[in-house]
Amino acid sequence: MQDPLVIAGRSFRSRLITGTGKYDSFETMRDAVVASACELVTVAVRRLDLDSPGEDITSFLPDEILLLPNTAGSETADEAVRIARLARAGGLPNWIKLEVIPDPRYLLPDPVETLKAAAQLVEEGFTVLPYVQPDPVLQKRLEEVGCAAVMPLASPIGSGRGMKLRDAIRIMVEQAEVPLVVDAGLGAPSHAAEALELGADAVLVNTAIARAGDPVAMAGAFRLAVEAGRAAFLAGTIAQQETAEPSSPVAGVVR
Amino acid sequence: MKVLVNGRELELGGDATVARLLETLEFAGSYALVERNGEPVERARYSQVELAEGDTLVVARPVAGG
């Protein structure tokens, strides 16, 4: 495999991770996941509705896809740990997207509770991928307790505003010792390309695909953008400068 | 025997296990996630773990999410 994304010793060809939320149907979700060529998808964990159990989302996903359960809905470390333990005991992978979110307006994660839960879950043998605000100091603390990746938000979940917190993410890229996955707020393929060009190892996208006019086509567009962004990062983008520099020879001009 | 499942009281047979409970609920998904009295139950033990009168259970599953 050429230039794989490696998280906790597992290699992925794709640097695009997708969420399964907000699709109009599981069929569209499945087709978008396939079009995205992603190999890792997030799922949430919820109580079974005894009156209306509904369909099993996992039956719509290709077998080779790794499921990444999240702890969405938890507002404290204890709640997140409870969801992770429940998911693993029931046979889901021991990978967990750790999100501890007490704030309903901006859905910003609680760094203190996230760090506490991360340490506990790593101790219990989970592969922990925490969702965080782009804080380079918190990143180091999460790496120290053994997180497998760190996932800073680009802008608030579902906002589609793109790399608003670019400068902090750039610092995180510079000092990352485990993969950095830009998660949340990416609204267009160009935003994903920007994250990869900057040196992020991967991106996680949900709303921008699921709520697009044509989710399956948009999934394909994100796949291309992620590939382009990574290729550009490896190729080395030019340094920016304030003034112009001609691309044609300045000598021998015919006038 | 009466148990509480996702907040609802259910009447089960005397020798009910977690696996029997899931059959009663007609749970058809690939992943049933079960907590009994606050403790997660290992999937491999669903057919062995016997329920007791008054148990509180949570039955959950993976759903769409980001």
Please report which confidence band the pLDDT of residue B15 belongs to, taking 50, 70 and 90 as the band edges.
Answer: confident
CB contact under 8 A, A72 and B40: no
CB contact under 8 A, A22 and B34: no
Please report which confidence band the pLDDT of residue B13 belongs to, taking 50, 70 and 90 as the band edges.
Answer: confident
Of B28, B31, B58, the CB nearest to A47: B58
pLDDT, one tens digit per residue, over A138-166 is 999 999 999 999 999 999 999 999 999 99
Please report which confidence band the pLDDT of residue A1 belongs to, taking 50, 70 and 90 as the band edges.
Answer: confident
Tell me, letter by letter, the H, E, C secondary structure of A181-201: EEECCCCCHHHHHHHHHHCCC
What is the structure's pLDDT at B26? 86
> Which percentage of chain A shows pLDDT scores above 90?
95
pLDDT, one tens digit per residue, over A194-241 is 999 999 999 999 999 999 999 999 999 999 999 999 999 999 999 999
For residue B60, pLDDT beyond 90: yes
Nearest residue of B to residue A85 by CA position?
B40
For residue A53, pLDDT beyond 90: no
CA distances from A140 to A124, A126, A172 (A): 20, 19, 9
Average pLDDT over chain B, rounded to whole? 93
Active site includes A140? no
The answer for residues whose C-beta is within 8 angstroms of residue A139's C-beta and 6 or more apart is A132, A150, A152, A172, A175, A176, A180
Of B35, B40, B65, the CB nearest to A42: B65
> Which residues in B lie closer than 8 A to residue A24 (C-beta atoms)?
none
For residue B14, pLDDT beyond 80: no
